Structure 1
Amino acid sequence: MTKLKDKKREKISIATEIDRLEEKRARCHDNLERAEFKSRKERLSEKERQELEDEMAIMNERVQKLDMELESLRGENRRNMLLSVALLTVSALFYYMFFYNEDDA
């Protein structure tokens, strides 16, 4: 199943994947804030409070995992941008050499 997900993700651009993960992170963060608000405002039994704290711990782990994935994707995006700029620079250099040196001869 993970291979199928990886193949699907290969077809998605890095920017799209970053947007998707940021939305997912925002939803997790909103759920975490709601759980924190609920723990402060409502009177909960010890069992309910423990379940809520466990849920909050799981959400915190998810947010941290998403942050690591986002950091990795942003790094990859940065590398791709630098590669694009380098290719553009080399192309511009060859264009300049080809057309302007031809006029000199």
Structure 2
Amino acid sequence: MTKKKRENLGVAQEIDGLEEKLSRCRKDLEAVTSQLYRAELSPEDRRSLEKEKHTLMNKASKYEKELKLLRHENRKNTLLSVAIFTVFALLYAYWTM
């Protein structure tokens, strides 16, 4: 996802969107795989389905890598938020004593 587009969305929304894309991709991959093993196919059809399967596997792999990066970024943001909250809580406790 481009950086400009990412600025407009929250990390959690990006994660949700990617999870949906990954889910659809996996369902499509499952459908293609079942077609490959169920039906008797001509060599051309088999090659076409295998090519589609390979493409879907690459796409799923790309989505998984991007999800991993986004989840890491989300963890960093969460830790930063907790750290800032803790600092403010400590400052508040110090000044009110």
What TM-score does the superposition give when structure 1 sets the normalisation length? 0.89
1:42 and 2:39 are equivalent in the alignment = yes
Q: Which residue of 2 aligns with 1:72?
A: 69
Larger-gyration structure (1/2): 1
Map 1:1-105 → 2, pairs under 5 A: 5-100=2-97
Identity %: 42
Runs of 4+ in structure 1 displaced over 3 angstroms?
Answer: none
Q: Which runs of 5+ in 1 are unaligned?
A: 101-105
Q: Which runs of 5+ in 2 are unaligned?
A: none
What letter matches 1:87 in structure 2? Answer: I
Alignment deviations for residues 29-59 of structure 1 (CA, whole Å, 9 cap, x no partner): 0000000111111110011001100100000
CA distance in structure 2 between the partners assigned to 1:72 and 1:6 by the alignment: 13
* Root mean square deviation, CA, Å: 1.1
* Partner SS, residue 40 of structure 2: coil
Instruction: Give the length in aligned residue pairs.
Output: 97
